[in-house]
Amino acid sequence: MTTKSKPAKPGRTGPSLGATREAVKPFELVKRFTATSLTVIFAATLILSVIITHRARTVLLQKSEEYAILLGNNLNHQVFLQFIVPVAIKFGRVQLRNKIQFDLMDKVVRATLHGFQVDTVHIYDPDNTISYSFDQSLVGKEGVGGEEYRRALEGETTSRVEEGGGWLAIMLGAARASKLRTWTPLLAEEPLSSNTGPVLGVFEIVQDLSDDYETIFRFQLLIIITSTGVMGVLFIILRRVVERGEAVILARAEERIKLEEQLSHAERLASLGELAAGVSHEIRNPLGIISSTAELLKKRTGGNESSGGLVDVIIEESSRMNGIVTDFLNFARPQTPKFQKVRLADVIEKNIAFLDTRLVKENVSVERHFHPATPEIQADPNLLYQSFLNILINAMQAMPEGGLITCEVFPSGGMVHVHFTDEGPGLEEAVLKKIWNPFFTTKESGTGLGLCMVRNFIEAHGGAISIKNAAAGGAVVKIRLPAEGPAGAEQGPSNGNHSHRGR
């Protein structure tokens, strides 16, 4: 169905950008609020993880100090009873440089600390010299006790943590090495009494807390990773929800704008229809007079060729003008379908029978494919006749050299489908976009209302119509009609009159 484009009037062709932006503004705020909230929550989680790990380190340090104090008291008791007393009795004085005494001290200390988590032990004598150590290379070193040693000589127990690594690693609990050093006094004990005697020396008990601190650090890292994962998932979910809501709002805004445009277009068409109806009515009366006068004049001339030819032109053009006026009136005053039982194959056969002479003359053949299971439908046969006739005439005009028109009727999905396919050159994309616009035509003559009225007729039946290019070439018109007709359809006999004018 070839057509020739006429310039369309400029108008709004899409949704307003400003209106679309206004529609999505709330979601911009939601996006920012979501991102800010998740960032704050993530930062709070990091701070909380640092607080928790710091508290865990503090508790661990406190328990380790208490543990060292208990070990120091137990070690004090065992060393005094199993080493100092026996050595004093046997040798008269304690002298750890003596190998026998040193081995005995080593045996007592290791037996006492067996099974306990102690990295090393140093024993200082009152003159700040290491007299015993797990590391024998330190034995005999002087003046290495420091402030904690002097406080222990005064009977006070003190502790100090030593950590390796940078300040950031220490702050985050990721120090490479962590040791707790505890100094406790070595006291003389009075037999069968809880009283203690003078300070005989100082114990330095060293505990390696690296593994415990590493466990806490891993726990902190697990909290951070888990929080990051949870925040990431929440962010993605909320982002998707926001984008989905934004898309819905945007679609509704576009739909609202399109509806407003359609309403405006419908109002313009209604005004135009009223104007066309008034003008057509005023034209039809004098046009009828001209036509009837021409007929009378033809009879009076008695077939005179010179005047008869002019009269025939007047009659022919009057008839053509009357058809155009009829098109305007039909468009301005939509017809209400009168529903009754209809076989679509019968309607198409009547169309073909009416066009038979023209089909033969223009070398066009029609191929029918009517599915036997196609039911009768509730429809207005007159409106369908006009619609199918218009489509068939357009298909013939699309094949000026002749060709094949294929008509298919078949049921599917509770609907009855009607397809008309021609072998013409098809339609350009620009034409397909405007094909349903009123007064749009590609023909040298015509009102451009034919397809517009066809669509109105089909939609009045609760159906739908579309036109596109066929894969094998040519154009295909696809019509879907409900078998039962639209809800609330008025049923009644049709007047049986067919308009034989194609648009």
pLDDT tens readout for residues 264-310: 877 776 776 677 666 666 776 777 777 778 777 777 776 555 555 67
> 422 lies in a domain?
yes
| pLDDT attached to residue 407 | 94
Q: For the segment 114-158, what is each residue's pLDDT rounded down to a tens digit? A: 888 888 899 998 888 898 998 888 888 888 888 888 998 888 999
> 274 lies in a domain?
no
| pLDDT attached to residue 60 | 84
Token pair, residue 203, equals: 């114990």
User: What is the residue type of 346?
Assistant: D
**To which H or E segment does residue 388 belong?**
helix 381-397
pLDDT of residue 242 exceeding 70, the answer is yes
Least confident of 104-108, 124-128, 321-325: 321-325
| pLDDT attached to residue 11 | 42
Angle, vertex CA 166, rays to CA 164 and CA 170, nearest 5: 70
* CB 75, CB 109: distance < 8 Å: yes
Question: What is the residue whose two structure tokens read 């690693």?
Answer: 169
pLDDT of residue 503 exceeding 60, the answer is no
- Whether 39 and 186 share a structural domain: yes
| Alpha carbon distance 454, 465 (integer Å) | 9
- Whether 50 and 192 share a structural domain: yes
With left for phi above 0 and alpha for psi between -120 and 50, is residue 403 left, alpha or beta?
Answer: left
Question: What is the residue whose two structure tokens read 């199918």?
Answer: 388
Q: If you average pLDDT over residues 472-498, what whole number do you get?
A: 69
Select from 384, 291, 383, 276 the least CA-distant residue to 324.
Answer: 276
| pLDDT attached to residue 272 | 67
Q: For the segment 152-201, what is each residue's pLDDT rounded down to a tens digit? A: 888 899 988 887 655 555 555 555 567 888 999 988 887 655 556 788 88
pLDDT of residue 369 exceeding 90, the answer is yes
| pLDDT attached to residue 499 | 40
- Whether 216 and 349 share a structural domain: no
218 or 173, which is more confident? 218
Cα radius of gyration rounded to whole Å, the chain = 52
Indicate the pLDDT class of residue 435, thresholds 50, 70 and 90. confident
* CB 30, CB 242: distance < 8 Å: yes
242 or 124, which is more confident? 124
Least confident of 217-226, 337-346, 436-445: 436-445
Average pLDDT, the chain: 79
288 or 247, which is more confident? 247
Q: If you average pLDDT over residues 464-488, what whole number do you get?
A: 84
pLDDT of residue 15 exceeding 70, the answer is no
Range of the domain at 164: 19-220
| Alpha carbon distance 492, 496 (integer Å) | 12
Instruction: Find the distance separating the first CA and the last CA of the chain, reported in whole Å.
Output: 11
- Whether 82 and 213 share a structural domain: yes
Select from 332, 373, 336 the least CA-distant residue to 495.
Answer: 336
**How many whole angstroms from its chain centre is CA 116?**
59
Q: The whole model's pTM is what?
A: 0.44
Indicate the pLDDT class of residue 317, thresholds 50, 70 and 90. confident
| pLDDT attached to residue 119 | 86
> 100 lies in a domain?
yes
Select from 435, 462, 464, 463 the least CA-distant residue to 451.
Answer: 435
| Alpha carbon distance 294, 291 (integer Å) | 5
Q: If you average pLDDT over residues 96-101, what whole number do you get?
A: 85
**Domain containing 203 — which CATH number?**
3.30.450.20
What stretches of 437-493 adopt beta strand conformation (E)? 464-469, 475-482
**Got the DSSP string for 278-291?**
HHHHHHHHHHHHHH
> 470 lies in a domain?
yes
| Alpha carbon distance 450, 436 (integer Å) | 9
Least confident of 7-21, 265-279, 356-370, 463-477: 7-21
Token pair, residue 256, equals: 């609202």
**Domain containing 352 — which CATH number?**
3.30.565.10
pLDDT of residue 232 exceeding 70, the answer is yes
Q: At 376, is the secondary structure helix, strand, or coil?
A: coil
> 281 lies in a domain?
no
| pLDDT attached to residue 363 | 94
> 243 lies in a domain?
no
Indicate the pLDDT class of residue 14, thresholds 50, 70 and 90. very low
**Residue 357 CB coordination number (10 Å):** 9
* CB 203, CB 72: distance < 8 Å: yes
21 or 290, which is more confident? 290
| pLDDT attached to residue 281 | 63
pLDDT of residue 321 exceeding 80, the answer is no
| pLDDT attached to residue 245 | 80
197 or 343, which is more confident? 343
The total domain count for the chain is 2
Question: Which of 180, 205, 220 finishes a domain?
Answer: 220
221 or 481, which is more confident? 481
> 233 lies in a domain?
no
Q: If you average pLDDT over residues 234-256, what whole number do you get?
A: 82
> 144 lies in a domain?
yes
| pLDDT attached to residue 89 | 86
